[in-house]
Amino acid sequence: MTLCFRAGSEEGSRGYFVGARRIEVHRCSPGRHLQRRPALSNTADGAPGVWRISAWANFRLPAALDEQDVSMEDSTQIPAGTPHANDGDGPVPTLMVIAAQGDLCLRVTFISSPKTLKPPKKEARPRPSLPRTSAGAGSPAGPQAQPPPPPPPPPLTPLQSPRETHWYRVELAALTRQSEYFRVLLGADSRFGEARAVAAVLEALDLDGVDPRDVEDAARLPAVDVTDDDEATRSPLRHHALADLLRILHGAPPAVRHPAVLTMRHVAALAVLADRFGCAQPVSRSLSAELRFKWPATRLKAAADGSGDVSGGVGGPRLDSEEVLRQRVLVAWLLDQPLKLHASTRDLTIHGSRRWTQVADQDEAEGRVGDLASWWDLQDDLEVELRYRRECILNTIASVQHHFISLYSSRTQMCKLGYDSSSACDSFQLGQMIKFLSSKKLLFLVDFSSTSFERVAEFGTTDINHIISLLSQVPSYQVDRHHTNCGLRTKILPILEYIKAMISSNVLSIPRREWKNARATQSWMQSGDDEKQERQPFRFGRSAASDDRLRYEGAMATDRMARQLFTAKSWDWSPEDRIQP
């Protein structure tokens, strides 16, 4: 019999089992498990497959389903002319009706790697929700009692085979109207063989007096073969993303709407497919208007001191999920979301990436990096540009401590008070400076041995704001009570405030329109590699520290000032204390 039922009718049980095939149910001993085994097509009634269920001994069917067949409202139907398996051992192809009166079938073959076919991560599973209880939980339900929330939807069924075929019944006019890919492939003026084959089948139906919209057997409709691999998304749920994409092209709401299953990974797969089929604009509108998708915020987690951790050695916050942030960058770029791209690229530049560490570079050079999704290597030079901008900012901050260490270790006397202890003051401040920076793991003393380089921490995933915060903690030690204004603190704090003001500018983010149309004017790499332009060292003076424009975020000319600061080849942070040759 054909069943569609919700399993787990006993108390305290949860879960769904949906079937639209011939199902054979029998009882067995408690030690057996649920088995799904499609049989061959040689069944007596011609059914495409048989589901054999071995359940626990206490499992029972609802009474309404014990003696009758129950149909399913959105049941999956299989075209009569479709094959019963994929390459002999795959699951039975299924037909998903996108348009009930569609005149075309898309025969999509999903090719997946073994790594992709692993069980989906926790983000793809629904989160169980507990019903809310009022203060008088034991009393009868009154007018103030709140109804329990609806149960979460069943988890999305992932792909099960390395090569799996799904059929989608669609309208040819909707595809060619909304998708540039299908307009070129199947349009009236197309030169591709797929367009001629579709036109021939539709013409044959017209000669027989059959309207394609009224055809019930989808095998009689023209079919177009499409192959989709998992190189871009590495997602086992991309067949659901393709179904939602086709629904959007037909003006229907997507089926995946619940927050438990509408994850950032699903949206990323949807954006990648929209970019491939040339329909990013309608998908972007649906994401904002119909789905009202809530973009996940950048979440941070506390980190330890980092001893033995290749991700960083100065502690501070770390990204809780870098993959989600990278998916935000990719989706914002593909679906033309400039505000989201502005915020996401800025967060990635500030917080860093584990792909930007020396360990990751060595693994990639030695070929130890496996197949990664497209958001781990952002397209259109976004990956290299964001990494270069972060390196420019880190070089600028590192130049501050390097500048003052060079000053106090030179022969020029920094203490200008003229006391007998002035020379001792410089030595004292240099020692305190090295002691502080070494204790905060912002300075590493490396000798000529090769093993000493292992003590250098990795800053690829260190928060830039955390580094500035550590430098701001420099103490104001004095060799005696007469050297009140001597030391690093009084000199470095105005510099750090200036750098923080420059970091808060808009220059760290990627503007989508300018990056797409005039990349040369926006790229820091191209401006840094311009050898014809003679760059003067950046000099920080009192006028720059007291600039009133720094008090306001996004002030005029702040972006230009920030770019000049971070792309400079050298820095002079105290021109009045310049080292004499």
pLDDT at 391: 94
**Count, residues in the chain:** 581
- As a whole number of angstroms, the distance between CA 321 and CA 457 comes to 22
Nearest 5°: CA angle at 145, between 141 and 151?
Answer: 105
- Spatial contact of 159 and 93, defined as CB atoms under 8 Å apart: no
Residue carrying structure tokens 């590493």: 444
- As a whole number of angstroms, the distance between CA 299 and CA 318 comes to 9
Q: pLDDT digit string (tens) for 385-409?
A: 999 999 999 999 999 999 999 888 8
Q: DSSP assignment, residue 416?
A: -
Task: Indicate whether 289 and 349 sit together in one domain.
Answer: no
Q: Is residue 136 part of a domain?
A: no
Single-letter amino acid code for the residue at 538: F
Q: Is residue 191 part of a domain?
A: yes
- Spatial contact of 404 and 492, defined as CB atoms under 8 Å apart: yes
Where does a domain end: 334, 350, 383? 383
Q: Is residue 144 part of a domain?
A: no
Task: Indicate whether 370 and 312 sit together in one domain.
Answer: yes
Q: Is residue 436 part of a domain?
A: yes
- Spatial contact of 186 and 105, defined as CB atoms under 8 Å apart: no
Where does a domain end: 365, 383, 401? 383
Q: DSSP assignment, residue 298?
A: -
Pick from 519, 331, 486, 477: nearest CA to 413: 486
Listed in sequence order, the DSSP H helices in 259-381 are 264-276, 280-289, 322-334, 338-351, 358-365
Give the Cβ contact number of residue 46 at 10 Å.
9
Single-letter amino acid code for the residue at 87: D
pLDDT at 476: 82
- Spatial contact of 110 and 238, defined as CB atoms under 8 Å apart: yes
Where does a domain end: 383, 416, 444? 383
Residue carrying structure tokens 């009930």: 100
Give the Cβ contact number of residue 310 at 10 Å.
15
Residue 297: φ, ψ to 5°: -80, 160
Tokens at 446, concatenated: 């490396």
Distance of CA 335 to the CA centre of its chain: 14
Mind giving me the DSSP string for 52-119?
A: EEE--TT----GGGSSS----TT--B--TTS-SSSTTTSPPPEEEESSTT-SEEEEEEEE--TTTTSP
pLDDT at 457: 77
- As a whole number of angstroms, the distance between CA 476 and CA 487 comes to 6
Pick from 330, 418, 339, 425: nearest CA to 382: 330
Task: Indicate whether 361 and 245 sit together in one domain.
Answer: no
pLDDT at 401: 93
Pick from 496, 461, 464: nearest CA to 350: 464
Quote the crossing angle between the two packed helices 264-276 and 322-334, to the nearest 10°.
30
Pick from 53, 15, 17: nearest CA to 32: 53
- As a whole number of angstroms, the distance between CA 124 and CA 226 comes to 25
- Spatial contact of 237 and 124, defined as CB atoms under 8 Å apart: yes
Burial 451-471 (b: 16+ CB within 10 A, else e): eeeeeebbbbbbbbebbbebb
- As a whole number of angstroms, the distance between CA 477 and CA 429 comes to 8
Q: Is residue 132 part of a domain?
A: no
Q: Is residue 566 part of a domain?
A: yes
Q: Is residue 338 part of a domain?
A: yes
Listed in sequence order, the DSSP H helices in 179-262 are 180-186, 193-207, 238-249
- Spatial contact of 572 and 537, defined as CB atoms under 8 Å apart: yes
Task: Indicate whether 178 and 57 sit together in one domain.
Answer: no
Domain that holds residue 450: 391-577
Task: Indicate whether 532 and 395 sit together in one domain.
Answer: yes
Task: Indicate whether 480 and 413 sit together in one domain.
Answer: yes
How big is the chain by its Cα radius of gyration, in Å? 32
Tokens at 361, concatenated: 């570079």
pLDDT at 328: 96
pLDDT at 558: 82
Task: Indicate whether 203 and 277 sit together in one domain.
Answer: yes
Task: Indicate whether 350 and 429 sit together in one domain.
Answer: no
Task: Indicate whether 488 and 572 sit together in one domain.
Answer: yes
- As a whole number of angstroms, the distance between CA 559 and CA 556 comes to 8
pLDDT digit of tens for each residue in the chain (581 aa)? 333 333 333 343 333 333 333 333 343 433 333 333 333 333 334 434 333 333 333 333 333 333 333 333 343 444 444 444 344 445 557 889 999 999 999 999 999 998 888 765 554 444 444 444 444 444 444 455 667 777 777 888 899 899 999 999 999 999 999 999 999 999 988 889 999 999 999 999 999 999 999 998 888 999 999 999 999 999 999 999 999 999 999 999 999 888 888 899 999 999 999 999 999 999 999 999 888 899 999 888 886 544 434 444 467 788 888 999 999 999 999 999 999 999 999 999 999 999 998 888 777 777 666 778 999 999 999 999 999 999 999 999 999 999 999 888 887 777 766 666 677 788 888 888 999 999 998 988 887 887 777 777 778 889 999 999 999 999 887 777 766 778 788 889 999 999 998 998 888 999 999 999 999 989 998 875 555 455 678 888 877 767 766 666 666 678 888 999 999 999 999 866 554 44
Tokens at 317, concatenated: 């916050």
- How far is CA 119 from each of CA 93, 124, 159, 239, 480, rounded to the nearest angstrom? 21, 10, 10, 15, 66
Task: Indicate whether 161 and 269 sit together in one domain.
Answer: yes
Structural domain count, the chain: 4
Q: What is the pTM of this model?
A: 0.77
Task: Indicate whether 310 and 437 sit together in one domain.
Answer: no
- Spatial contact of 312 and 303, defined as CB atoms under 8 Å apart: yes
Q: Is residue 259 part of a domain?
A: yes
- Exposed, middle or buried by CB within 10 Å (0-12, 13-18, 19+), for 437? buried
Task: Indicate whether 60 and 92 sit together in one domain.
Answer: no
Pick from 109, 103, 3: nearest CA to 47: 3
